[in-house]
C-alpha cells in the first residue's frame, strides 16, 4: 500500500515525505514543480536512503491522477499541492481558485472513482481570520478570510466536509497549520521561496546571509507586549510528524476531523529577530515600517486536541527552529539552485 503526496516536492511536503519514508511507508509524489524543484526529492532520498516514485504533473489533470491510482495501490492521499502566496492571490484570484479549489475537487473526484478513501488536507490558521479568542481552538468561527488564498482554504474545508457527509466511506483530516519554519537538521532540504520572501523567517535568513539589506518589521503599534505581531511558529519536522499521526489515527476512526497544528506559544517579530541573532550569532538589521494590509495582531493555537486525539505534540523549541533555518540557508544560499 502506498501514500500519494500531492505537492510533495515543496517545503512541507518534502519534510513529510522524509518522515513517512522513515516510518517505512511507500511514497508516490505528484507535483507540477510550479513552486519547487525535483532536487528536493533527490535530497529526500539522500537523507532517508529510500526511493520516492515521482510524477511531474498537475492535480487538475485527471489523466495523470487516473494513471497513478491504477498503477499504484494507493490507500491514502496527503494533499499539499496548492498556491500559497497571499499577495499574488489578491492579484490573481481566478488562478488561485482554479488551482486550489478546482484542483482539490478534481483530486477528490478521482479518489472516489478509484475507491481511495483517506485524505489529509493542508489547511491554515488563516481560515480563522481575525480570531475571536486566543489561543485559537478548532471550534472557533472560521471564514473571515481577507484574501483569495485564505478563502480558497476555507472553501476547500467546506467542500470536503460536505463531501464526507455525502460519501461516508471517505475519511478526511483537515490540518490547520500555524507558521511553519525551520528545516531538516541535515540542512539538505528547506524552504526555497521564489524571489523576495513574503514570510518572516526566510526574510530574516536572507538578510543574515547578505542577500537582502535589512528586515522591514510591519508595524510596532499592535496591541501586543512589544507592539509587533505575534504568531505561533512551528518547526516543519514537528508539522510533518503531525501528518503521520493523523493518517494513522484516522484510518480507523473515520469521518471529518479538524486539528490545529501549532505549539501553543506566541512569539513577536522582535522575539524572532532577537532569537535568530542570539542562536546564530549574526546581526539582523531591521527597521519599523507601516503595518502590512490584512495582518492581524496575534495568532496562536490551542494544540490540545491534536495532543489528546493524535498523541502529537511539538518537540522542537525556538532555538532549534532558528538553528535549522540558518543551517539550511547558509549551506544553500540560493536554495536548490546551487
**Please, which residue, 93 or 227, has the CB nearer to ligand NAD?**
93
> Which one of 149, 203, 222, 259 is the catalytic residue?
149
Which of ligand NAD, ligand UDP, none interacts with 11 (beta carbon under 5 to 8 A by kind)?
A: ligand NAD
34 binds, among ligand NAD, ligand UDP, none (CB under 5 to 8 A by kind): ligand NAD
Environment class of 337 (CB within 10 Å of its CB; exposed 0-12, middle 13-18, buried 19+) = exposed
Judged by CB, which is closer to ligand NAD: 80, or 203?
Answer: 80
Report, in angstroms and rounded to the nearest whole number, the Rg of the chain calculated over CA atoms. Answer: 19
Q: What residue ranges bind ligand UDP (CB under 6 A)? A: 179, 198-200, 203, 215-218, 229, 231, 269, 292, 295
Is-catalytic flag, 267?
Answer: no
Nearer to ligand NAD, 282 or 320 (CB): 320
Q: Where do contacts with ligand NAD occur on this chain (CB under 6 A)?
A: 6-7, 9-13, 30-36, 58-60, 80-84, 99, 103, 122, 124, 177, 180
Return the number of the residue (61 or 285) whose C-beta is nearest ligand NAD.
61
Cell numbers representing residue 79 in the block: 494533499
Q: How many residues does the chain have?
A: 338
Instruction: Mark 16-33 as b/e (b = at least 16 C-beta within 10 Å).
Output: bbbbbbeeebbbbbbbbe
Taking the chain, what is the end-to-end CA distance rounded to the nearest angstrom?
35
CA distance 303 to 256: 18
Instruction: Name which of ligand NAD, ligand UDP, none residue 269 binds, using a CB cut-off of 5 to 8 Å depending on partner kind.
Output: ligand UDP
DSSP assigned state of 301 = B
What single string gives the DSSP state of each residue in 156-193? Answer: HHHHHHHHHHH-TT-EEEEEEE-EEE---TTSSS----
Q: How far is the CB of 202 from ligand NAD (least distance, A)?
A: 10
The listed partner (ligand UDP, ligand NAD, none) that binds 58, CB under 5 to 8 Å by sort, is ligand NAD
Rounded least distance, CB 40 to ligand NAD, Å:
8
Residues with active-site annotation: 149
Amino acid at each position: 500500500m502506498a501514500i500519494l503526496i500531492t505537492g510533495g516536492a515543496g517545503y512541507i511536503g518534502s519534510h513529510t515525505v522524509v518522515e513517512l519514508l522513515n516510518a517505512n511507508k511507500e511514497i508516490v509524489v505528484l507535483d507540477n514543480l510550479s513552486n519547487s524543484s525535483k532536487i528536493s526529492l533527490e535530497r529526500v532520498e539522500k537523507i532517508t536512503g529510500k526511493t520516492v516514485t515521482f510524477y511531474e504533473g498537475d492535480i487538475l489533470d485527471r489523466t495523470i491522477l487516473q494513471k497513478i491510482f491504477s498503477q499504484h495501490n494507493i490507500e491514502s492521499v496527503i494533499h499539499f499541492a496548492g498556491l500559497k502566496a497571499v499577495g499574488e492571490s489578491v492579484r490573481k484570484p481566478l488562478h488561485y481558485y482554479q488551482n486550489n479549489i478546482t484542483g482539490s475537487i478534481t483530486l477528490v473526484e478521482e479518489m472516489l472513482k478509484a475507491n481511495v478513501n483517506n485524505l489529509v488536507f493542508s489547511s491554515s490558521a488563516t481560515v480563522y481570520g481575525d480570531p475571536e479568542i486566543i489561543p485559537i481552538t478548532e471550534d472557533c468561527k472560521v471564514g473571515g478570510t481577507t484574501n483569495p488564498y485564505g478563502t480558497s482554504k476555507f472553501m476547500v474545508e467546506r467542500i470536503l466536509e460536505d463531501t464526507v457527509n455525502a460519501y461516508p466511506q471517505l475519511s478526511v483530516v483537515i490540518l490547520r497549520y500555524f507558521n511553519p519554519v525551520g528545516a531538516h537538521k541535515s540542512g539538505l532540504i528547506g524552504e526555497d521561496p521564489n524571489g523576495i520572501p513574503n514570510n518572516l523567517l526566510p526574510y530574516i535568513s536572507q538578510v543574515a546571509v547578505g542577500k537582502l539589506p535589512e528586515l522591514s518589521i510591519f508595524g510596532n503599534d499592535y496591541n501586543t507586549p512589544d507592539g509587533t505581531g505575534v504568531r505561533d511558529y512551528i518547526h516543519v519536522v514537528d508539522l510533518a510528524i503531525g501528518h503521520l499521526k493523523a493518517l494513522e489515527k484516522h484510518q480507523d476512526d473515520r469521518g471529518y476531523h479538524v486539528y490545529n497544528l501549532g505549539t501553543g506559544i506566541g512569539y513577536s517579530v522582535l522575539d524572532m529577530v532577537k532569537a535568530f541573532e542570539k542562536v546564530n550569532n549574526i546581526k539582523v538589521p531591521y527597521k519599523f515600517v507601516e503595518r502590512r494590509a490584512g495582518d492581524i495582531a496575534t495568532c496562536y493555537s490551542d494544540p490540545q486536541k491534536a495532543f489528546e486525539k493524535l498523541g502529537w505534540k511539538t518537540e522542537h523549541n525556538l532555538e532549534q527552529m532558528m538553528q535549522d533555518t540558518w543551517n539550511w540557508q547558509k549551506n544553500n544560499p540560493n536554495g536548490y539552485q546551487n
